[in-house]
Amino acid sequence: MQARVRQACLFAAVALGLVVALAGTALAQPSDSSIGTWKVNATKSTYAAGTAPKSVTTKHEVAGAGVGMG
């Protein structure tokens, strides 16, 4: 009987550890998915004739209560 109790406690501890780890990972993600560094794929983008850039990279970051482009 003690083996079952020990096994149940071990299972509960492992399950709790997984929940805490997964919740921490989910909460660590930025709430705004546009935050980060973005690189334009010119072949998949549409531009007026002759105006397509060879490459464009933009960086969006949190700036106070808003978002700034760096």
pLDDT band at 48 (very low <50, low <70, confident <90, very high): confident
- 45 and 70 within one domain: yes
d(CA 22, CA 16): 10
Number of domains, the chain: 2
Return the structure tokens found at 36.
Answer: 């980060």
pLDDT of residue 67: 61
How much is the average pLDDT of 39-62?
A: 81
- 43 and 22 within one domain: no
- 38 and 26 within one domain: no
- 38 and 62 within one domain: yes
Can you give the residue range of the structural domain that contains 50?
A: 31-70
* pLDDT tens profile 12-25: 999 999 988 888 77
- 64 and 41 within one domain: yes
- 70 and 36 within one domain: yes
d(CA 16, CA 23): 10
- 19 and 49 within one domain: no
